[in-house]
Every structure is written in C-alpha cells, then in structure tokens.
Amino acid sequence: MKIEKVMIVDDDEDVRAISVLAARKIGNWAVVSVGSGDEAVALAPVERPDVILLDVMMPAPDGPATMALLRDDPVTATIPIIFLTAMAQRHDIERYLELGACGVICKPFDATALPDEIRRILQAE
C-alpha cells in the first residue's frame, strides 16, 4: 500500500508533535494532525488520508467511538486505522483488532521507527 498522507489523532499535543515530525521528516508523508475524534470525523472525508493513527484514550469520542463514526461514513469506511495506546495488554490489543483496527502501536513509541512500524502494519493487512 502506498502512503502519501497520514492523519494523526491524539489529544496529547506532544505526541502529535513527535508523530507529525516523524511522519513528515522520516516517512516523507503529508500529515493532517488533529486533537480530537470530532475533528477527525469532520476532516477525514475532506482530507482522505491513506491511514489514520488514532489515540485510544481521548475525551469523548474516544478512539473506538471515533473509529465507529469513521466506519459509518462511506468516504472513510475503508481507511486503515492504527490505534496508538499506552493500554497495550494482550487483551486490549485483541479488542482493538476485533473492533477493526489494522494494528496497534504502543506508547511510548520510538519516533524514528514510527514510519517503518506503520508500513509494517499496513503490509500485514
């Protein structure tokens, strides 16, 4: 899968900044960065990213609820979603995959390895 544009959805400004930097400088991707699920649901149909990195723990709507809203829109229904989370116990990861995420990246993550991790997850789809 070719990646040209990534959407990063996280309420933590520092995580967004690090992720944006890694995606732009290392991944060489265009980036759309938003701080809430509501912003993601509003912008994803317009921006049409190739993949969405979605924080699990956010104020309402949280990551799983945001993913459900994105899946309800025909324009965004098939965009791959990778959850970003510190809640990375085996049962948590299994739940996120059952919800339809194509992968999970655990926080804290190595920013220099983030683009390669995204590519690896999307190749495994």
Measured CA distances, 45 to 6, 14, 49, 79 (Å): 13, 25, 8, 10
**Distance between CA atoms of residues 50 and 29, nearest Å:** 10
Angle, helices 63-72 vs 37-47, to 10°: value is 30
pLDDT recorded at residue 39:
98
Range of the domain at 21: 5-124
Residue 83 DSSP SS3: strand
**pLDDT tens string for the chain (125 positions)?**
899 999 999 999 999 999 999 999 999 999 999 999 999 999 999 999 999 999 999 998 999 999 999 999 999 999 999 999 987 788 889 999 999 999 999 999 999 999 999 999 999 65
pLDDT recorded at residue 43:
98
**Distance between CA atoms of residues 10 and 32, nearest Å:** 11
Q: What is the value of pTM for the model shown?
A: 0.95
- How many domains is the chain built from? 1
**Distance between CA atoms of residues 60 and 2, nearest Å:** 31
Which CATH number do you get for residue 12?
A: 3.40.50.2300
**Distance between CA atoms of residues 77 and 25, nearest Å:** 28
pLDDT recorded at residue 49:
98
